[in-house]
Amino acid sequence: MAFAVDLHIHSCLSPCGDEAMTPANIAGMAYLKGLDAIALTDHNAWQNLPAIKKACDAYGVVLLPGMEVTTREEVHMLCYFRSVEEAEVFGRLVQDKLPPIENMPMLFGEQQIRNEDDEIIGIYGKLLLQAADIGTDELPRLCMKMGGVCVPAHVNRKANSLIATLGFLSLTEPYAAVEVYKKLPMEADTGEYMILNSSDAHYLGDIQEREFFLRFPEKSTESLFDYLKAHIRNA
Ligand SMILES: [Zn+2]
Ligand SMILES: [Zn+2]
């Protein structure tokens, strides 16, 4: 079946994410927009995944646990997992590789951890808008080794993208797909990689409508994840 998805959304844990991007608000907005599945992909962080998983379950929206990792070269790469638990193990490793620089909320915004009722249950300390000490060429295999799949984010954007940073899109890496930002022209050859269009929403209103569809067998996290995994090239 074809399911409407938006696989790149930030919560209030990302310092640049709006405070209204709480787990229950995101799940509720996804439901209102008629999305079948979403991914929460905070910058270098997993801590709002348990709450959004519960909120999505309550609304009947499939959650694909994810994270947007900033590599050593400042390239944004989306990593998706089959379960919140696997995403957490990977997220802890990523956070261990962030420099020990604290967030300055006045400058960058707060990094709020919330529960499924949207109550603040913690504030993440280290600044999440930093590069983890993991190479862009190293990340896809590391992510796969830990059960995930890797998708370069917004490859046609001017900032923090694979093409802008490295100058080209390699067609020989084990990516499950490449994310193309649909509001900008895309000139690079994407070879055999599947293309994903997602919102990269930092505000509730920016979450995608029913406009991008993927065909996977069942409306479940496992089915969506396995579909992405089956699309890994050059593994
Ligand atoms: Zn990004
Ligand atoms: Zn993003």
**pLDDT of 118:** 95
- pLDDT at 59 (0 to 100): 98
* Half-sphere exposure of residue 11: CA atoms within 13 angstroms, side-chain side: 37
- Taking the centre of ligand 1 as the mean of its atom positions, its distance from the CA of residue 69, in whole angstroms, is 8
Mean pLDDT of 2-24: 98
Pairing mode of beta strands 149-152, 76-80: antiparallel
Report the separation in Å between the CA atom of 31 and the middle of ligand 2, taken as the mean of its atom positions.
20
Where along the chain do its domains lie? 2-230
Q: How far is the CA of 160 from the centre of ligand 2 (A)?
A: 10
pLDDT digits (tens, 9 = 90+) for 126-162: 999 999 999 999 999 999 999 999 999 999 999 999 9
pTM over 0.75: yes
Q: What is the 132 CA–ligand 2 centroid distance (Å)?
A: 15
Fold of 2-230: TIM Barrel (3.20.20)
Share of the chain above pLDDT 70, in %: 100
Q: What is the pLDDT of residues 183-220, one digit of tens each?
A: 999 989 999 999 999 999 999 999 999 999 999 999 99
Short-list 23, 3, 25, 1, CA closest to 13: 23
pLDDT at 152: 98
List pLDDT tens digits, range 21-70: 999 999 999 999 999 999 999 999 999 999 999 999 999 999 999 999 99
pLDDT digits 0-9 by tens, 93-108: 999 999 999 999 999 9
What pLDDT sits at residue 81? 98
pLDDT category, 165, cuts 50, 70, 90? very high
Q: State in Å: Cα 169 to ligand 1 middle.
A: 16
Ligand 2 center–CA 69 separation, angstroms: 9
